[in-house]
Chains A and B, each alone.
Chain A
Amino acid sequence: MEYETVLTTCPYCGCGCKYYIEVIDGVAKDVLPCKEDPISQGKLCIKGWNAVDFVYSGDRLKTPLIKENGKFREASWDEAYGLIASKFKDIKGTHGANALGLLSSAKTTNEENYLMQKFARSVIVTNNVDHCARLCHASTVAGLAAAFGSGAMTNSTPEVEEADCILITGSNTTEQHPLIGSRIFKAKENGAKIILIDPRAIQLSKFADLHLRQRPGTDVAWINGFIHVIIEEGLADEEFITTRTENFEELKELVKDYTPERVEEITGIPKEDLVKAARMYAGADSASIIYSMGITQHTTGVDNVKSCANLSMVTGNLGKPSTGVNPLRGQNNVQGACDLGALPNVFPGYQAVVNPDFREKFEKAWGMAEKIPDNIGLTVVEMMNEAHKGNLKCIYIMGENPMISDPDITHVKEALENLDFLVVQDLFVTETAALADVVLPGTSFLEKDGTFTATDRRVQRVRKAIEPIGDSRPDWKIICELAQRMGSKGFEFKSPKEIQDEIASLTPIYGGITYDRLDELGYLQWPCPNAEHAGTVFLHKDKCSRGPGHFFAVEYKPPAELPDEKYPFTLTTGRILFHFHTGTMTRRSEKLNKEVPTGYVEINPQDAEELGIKDGEKVKVSTRRGTIDIPAYVTRKVPLKTVFIPFHFNECAANMLTNPALDPIAKIPEFKVCACKIETIGE
């Protein structure tokens, strides 16, 4: 009997818990927490504990599939590669490179994301490469980069428990980032004040010193209100503002209008509570802002993020331990997928594609004969729109499932069906893969080497524990083989380690990251520019990455679609503890599925009574985009006239309903607010 443990990083949220996989005779048996891992400290959430389940799911793809006469048939890798290469070439030849788009994956490794954007830019020669960060933290990347010069979590996960005050907004931390949630409990036990600002009552509500429930989509208003009170009461950090920032006067002028009375009118937050919360936040020695999708998934997502940055700077809560602006990244490697340039506007390390020096740098490094286009490529939702219009002819998707994750699924389906050619690389025939012309079987985190970057810029190893299932292949290998089949050079990598070495040579923030150092140190937090650098625990010490921190004076703007007579409810969407994103992995775990087998719509008891809806009864929820039938969960978690639907479930998909209206800068859709109506159907 052969027994070994393999230390690897969890494939679910962005916490970055490392744990052991217990392997007996080549089979991954169980997850065992690792007591000396600095993030998890030997503790895990229910998803982490059950992370092996989906890997052995009976419906794992074991060979490539080719669609013929509307049906899939098994194919060899050789045949699949041949077909894809010739189609890609044909489409590029006929319609140009920009008629192709690629979706990379926040579930896959850094090396694979690097390769996917390299494939887009050097093989196809287009900047049309994006991934689901567009749907979660695109506004963070844009907003924090504009304010501070770096679009990432400013501080680190372990610092949370040392903060004197934690302001949590739009993050259901104990469900979505359980191991960061547990540090909030620790902080509370250490005496920290907890301010929660969230329309819904969540587990943290009971632990918060103050829970302010704003109307969905009114975040700029309450943040401006906070700043109004802070300035008014002389609680601003004048020295920090003078020495570390710019453009304060403009913000000061703007927030004059955001009196607590006016903010109450807009947000519904009682003015006394607003004042109390502002004093609590500004009065702490170290105050940390934690936020997530509740801030970012709005047509004002970038404004919301900039407002959070304003709040931290006005009180000098930046560049010090246990302070800062801390977006919690939802996916295990969404931070890394952004860092490695799986975005249409930047190369790895956020080097802008519009900058000719960077284009030249990468053309040279990749030995390209063609020129990389100087335009910013298409984003996720724009790709769907262009496909719908017939301008985009082909999409190559790795490990994403837009048929569940993107807003307005009816539109997405029409768009994908309108393509000349769709390639999907995944573990399963997902809702998206079902529409593909060719499906390629990739591998799970257990079957390959690589690195993931956790939410606090923490790069950690993913280690192969078992052999690939069936004839599936690691995604990095697939991209390399496909590139070589298309006659491209620069994809002769023998291992992810070699890919990381190329990444380090071209990506200054990852410059000092090597597998040997990761084995020795366990992790490295970027920026880590060279092999002697110990990594960076918190950003913007002494000076922001861009120089002075920039205050943006932002006015409150209402969401794109508000309730009206026809659609009187506000619909907001999100995740729950027991499932992850499009359910591709968690819904294949018996334990997780038993906890929550299907979706539901949370509705306030008073609203339910008025509509004659009983708990558990199936109801019809409709918006201007579509209609779903879904069981009602009558609960005080949601305020009056607001309903909440988790988006994991294809049989009652929240994104049939959501509004694809975009933030003008980040192009993130407004998942968090749209207008809906609820009707009984007598079931």
Chain B
Amino acid sequence: MEDEVRKRIAEMLDSGEVTAVIALKDVLGMTTPCVFKKGDDLSSLRLSPHYPLATLAMKMHKMDPEYKIAILCRGCDERALLEMAKRNQIDMDKLSIIGIACDEETAKDCNCSVPYPSCEDLIGEKLEELELGDAFEDYKRMSTAEKLEFWKKQFEKCNKCYGCRNICQMCFCKDCELENELWLKKGRLPPDFPVYHLIRAFHLAGKCVGCGECESACPAGIPLMTINRLLRDDMKELFDYVVGNTEEVNPLYTKEEF
């Protein structure tokens, strides 16, 4: 798969279709986000672990909107880009996608039902009929009081690093409500429960693309993807909205806002 991606990157750069390709490479034995340009040695290319590359694409796009970029993209990354585009954070016309499919293990780890981007020239095998089972069976069986207790215990570990927000591909608000003293006291550890975490959760409703970066960045090991996944399910059930759909706009927003 890596070779196929290398080939694609080389083609895109050589033909001048794009000026830069956002991908991952090995430096000092570790995988890091990187930007490849024409003539670069592509042997160091890597495809995992996942890093929030859509954020990098957005950053570069904001610095130079005319810059032509291609981006290595899993299903979640593509969903992130599409949701960014709906919010005027990036212009999909200036962006090319090198889509790669996740393998079964990765998809199951992420509890991801759409582990591939929608592009036609996908690299890797598209896993369409993945049996995920219900990962939240135990959780769903809890009473409301037990659920509250469960989250209270989890959030008491919170170190208020803001890492879940900082790493999130979908968190690009200039002023973040997590820092608004209207809702919570600053400088407290752990942060006020449950308001701190509820603000974040609700702001991700209809926005979370399921990349799992927040949970993997959490020093306290809080199962944040559980919340996000349950919210995603609610969005589907209540509003028939699936994050990352190309056309639709999140029904919790009005068009005028954009």
Q: Which residue numbers of A lie inside 8 Å of B, CB to CB?
A: 1-5, 7, 20, 22, 24, 29, 32-37, 42-46, 48-49, 174-175, 178-179, 181-182, 185-186, 189, 203, 206-207, 519-520, 522, 576-578, 591, 594-596
Chain A's closest residue to B167 (CB) is A33
Q: Counting CB contacts under 8 A, is B89 at the interface?
A: no
Q: Counting CB contacts under 8 A, is B220 at the interface?
A: yes
Q: Are B161 and A185 in contact, CB atoms less than 8 angstroms apart? A: no
Q: Counting CB contacts under 8 A, is B157 at the interface?
A: yes
Q: Are A43 and B30 in contact, CB atoms less than 8 angstroms apart? A: no
How many residue pairs link A and B with beta carbons under 8 A? The number is 115
Given contacts A34-B32, A595-B187, A596-B187, contact A1 B159 (CB under 8 A): no
Specify which of B20, B33, B220 is in contact with A182 (CB 8 Å cutoff).
Answer: B220
Q: Are A42 and B217 in contact, CB atoms less than 8 angstroms apart? A: yes
For residue A183, give the distance in angstroms from its CB to the closest CB of chain B: 9
Q: How many residues of B contact A (CB 8 A)?
A: 38
Q: Counting CB contacts under 8 A, is B179 at the interface?
A: yes
Given A182-B159, A203-B157, A207-B156, 11 further pairs, Cβ under 8 A: A3-B34, A3-B56, A20-B33, A36-B29, A36-B31, A44-B217, A46-B159, A182-B221, A577-B159, A595-B160, A596-B187
Q: Which residue numbers of B lie inside 8 Å of A, CB to CB?
A: 20, 27-35, 49, 51, 56, 59-60, 63-64, 67, 156-157, 159-163, 166-167, 179, 186-187, 189-190, 216-221
For residue B216, give the distance in angstroms from its CB to the closest CB of chain A: 6
Give Cα A576–Cα B160 distance, bound, in whole angstroms.
Answer: 12
Give Cα A29–Cα B60 distance, bound, in whole angstroms.
Answer: 11
Contacts of A189 in B (CB 8 A): 221
Q: Are B219 and A43 in contact, CB atoms less than 8 angstroms apart? A: yes
Specify which of B64, B179, B216 is in contact with A1 (CB 8 Å cutoff).
Answer: B64
For residue A534, give the distance in angstroms from its CB to the closest CB of chain B: 16
Contacts of B161 in A (CB 8 A): 43-46, 48-49, 178
Give Cα A520–Cα B29 distance, bound, in whole angstroms.
Answer: 7
Given contacts A35-B31, A182-B159, contact A1 B20 (CB under 8 A): yes
Give Cα A591–Cα B166 distance, bound, in whole angstroms.
Answer: 12
Q: Can you pick out 13 interface pairs between chain A and chain B where the beta carbons lie within 8 Å of each other?
A: A1-B67, A3-B56, A7-B27, A42-B216, A43-B217, A44-B219, A45-B219, A49-B161, A185-B157, A185-B221, A206-B156, A207-B156, A594-B179
Contacts of B67 in A (CB 8 A): 1
For residue B199, give the distance in angstroms from its CB to the closest CB of chain A: 16
Give Cα A198–Cα B87 distance, bound, in whole angstroms.
Answer: 49
Contacts of B219 in A (CB 8 A): 43-45, 178-179, 181-182
Q: Are A577 and B189 in contact, CB atoms less than 8 angstroms apart? A: yes
Chain B's closest residue to A595 (CB) is B187
Contacts of A595 in B (CB 8 A): 160, 186-187
Contacts of B162 in A (CB 8 A): 46, 49, 591
Give Cα A206–Cα B152 distance, bound, in whole angstroms.
Answer: 11
Chain A's closest residue to B31 (CB) is A36
Looking at B31, B159, B179, which has the most chain A CB atoms within 10 Å of its CB? B159
Q: Are B160 and A577 in contact, CB atoms less than 8 angstroms apart? A: yes
For residue A174, give the distance in angstroms from its CB to the closest CB of chain B: 6
Contacts of B163 in A (CB 8 A): 33, 43-44, 49
Contacts of A576 in B (CB 8 A): 187
For residue B193, give the distance in angstroms from its CB to the closest CB of chain A: 12
Given contacts A24-B63, A35-B31, A595-B187, contact A43 B218 (CB under 8 A): yes
Q: Are B156 and A203 in contact, CB atoms less than 8 angstroms apart? A: yes
Give Cα A591–Cα B186 distance, bound, in whole angstroms.
Answer: 10
Q: Are A174 and B34 in contact, CB atoms less than 8 angstroms apart? A: no
Chain B's closest residue to A600 (CB) is B187
For residue A575, give the distance in angstroms from its CB to the closest CB of chain B: 12
Chain A's closest residue to B216 (CB) is A42
Specify which of B30, B34, B190 is in contact with A203 (CB 8 Å cutoff).
Answer: B190
Give Cα A428–Cα B63 distance, bound, in whole angstroms.
Answer: 30
Give Cα A22–Cα B166 distance, bound, in whole angstroms.
Answer: 14
Given contacts A43-B218, A46-B162, contact A203 B189 (CB under 8 A): yes
Q: Are A596 and B166 in contact, CB atoms less than 8 angstroms apart? A: no
For residue B203, give the distance in angstroms from its CB to the closest CB of chain A: 18
Contacts of A33 in B (CB 8 A): 163, 167, 217
Chain B's closest residue to A518 (CB) is B28
Give Cα A29–Cα B35 distance, bound, in whole angstroms.
Answer: 15
Contacts of B31 in A (CB 8 A): 35-36
Q: Are A5 and B218 in contact, CB atoms less than 8 angstroms apart? A: no
Which 8 A/B pairs are nearest by Cβ-Cβ distance?
A596-B187, A182-B219, A43-B219, A3-B35, A36-B30, A595-B187, A5-B32, A46-B161
Contacts of B167 in A (CB 8 A): 33
Contacts of B56 in A (CB 8 A): 3, 22
Looking at A20, A44, A181, which has the most chain B CB atoms within 10 Å of its CB? A44
Q: Are B186 and A596 in contact, CB atoms less than 8 angstroms apart? A: yes
Q: Are B217 and A5 in contact, CB atoms less than 8 angstroms apart? A: no
Give Cα A522–Cα B187 distance, bound, in whole angstroms.
Answer: 34
Specify which of B28, B60, B159 is in contact with A181 (CB 8 Å cutoff).
Answer: B159
Q: Are A36 and B49 in contact, CB atoms less than 8 angstroms apart? A: yes
Give Cα A46–Cα B165 distance, bound, in whole angstroms.
Answer: 11
Give Cα A670–Cα B29 distance, bound, in whole angstroms.
Answer: 45
Q: Are B27 and A1 in contact, CB atoms less than 8 angstroms apart? A: no
Q: Are B32 and A7 in contact, CB atoms less than 8 angstroms apart? A: yes
Q: Are B49 and A522 in contact, CB atoms less than 8 angstroms apart? A: no
Contacts of B159 in A (CB 8 A): 45-46, 174, 178, 181-182, 577
Chain B's closest residue to A633 (CB) is B187
Q: Are A29 and B59 in contact, CB atoms less than 8 angstroms apart? A: yes
For residue B217, give the distance in angstroms from its CB to the closest CB of chain A: 6
Contacts of A4 in B (CB 8 A): 34-35
Contacts of B63 in A (CB 8 A): 1, 24
Contacts of B27 in A (CB 8 A): 5, 7
Chain A's closest residue to B181 (CB) is A594
Looking at A43, A576, A577, which has the most chain B CB atoms within 10 Å of its CB? A43
Specify which of B29, B35, B189 is in contact with A174 (CB 8 Å cutoff).
Answer: B189
Give Cα A200–Cα B29 distance, bound, in whole angstroms.
Answer: 43
Given contacts A5-B32, A24-B63, A595-B186, contact A46 B216 (CB under 8 A): no
Contacts of A186 in B (CB 8 A): 221
Give Cα A577–Cα B159 distance, bound, in whole angstroms.
Answer: 9
Q: Are A7 and B28 in contact, CB atoms less than 8 angstroms apart? A: yes
For residue B150, give the distance in angstroms from its CB to the closest CB of chain A: 13
Give Cα A428–Cα B100 distance, bound, in whole angstroms.
Answer: 48
Give Cα A174–Cα B32 distance, bound, in whole angstroms.
Answer: 28
Q: Are A24 and B160 in contact, CB atoms less than 8 angstroms apart? A: no
Chain B's closest residue to A49 (CB) is B166
Contacts of A206 in B (CB 8 A): 156
Chain B's closest residue to A577 (CB) is B189
Chain B's closest residue to A34 (CB) is B30
Contacts of A44 in B (CB 8 A): 161, 163, 217, 219
Give Cα A445–Cα B28 distance, bound, in whole angstroms.
Answer: 19
Chain B's closest residue to A175 (CB) is B189
For residue A158, give the distance in angstroms from its CB to the closest CB of chain B: 14
Q: Are A5 and B220 in contact, CB atoms less than 8 angstroms apart? A: no
Q: Are A3 and B190 in contact, CB atoms less than 8 angstroms apart? A: no
Contacts of B216 in A (CB 8 A): 35, 42-43
Contacts of B190 in A (CB 8 A): 203
Q: Are A5 and B33 in contact, CB atoms less than 8 angstroms apart? A: yes
Given contacts A35-B49, A42-B217, A182-B220, contact A522 B28 (CB under 8 A): yes
For residue B159, give the distance in angstroms from its CB to the closest CB of chain A: 5
Chain B's closest residue to A48 (CB) is B161
Chain B's closest residue to A461 (CB) is B28
Given contacts A33-B217, A42-B216, A174-B159, contact A1 B60 (CB under 8 A): yes
Contacts of A2 in B (CB 8 A): 35
For residue B157, give the distance in angstroms from its CB to the closest CB of chain A: 5
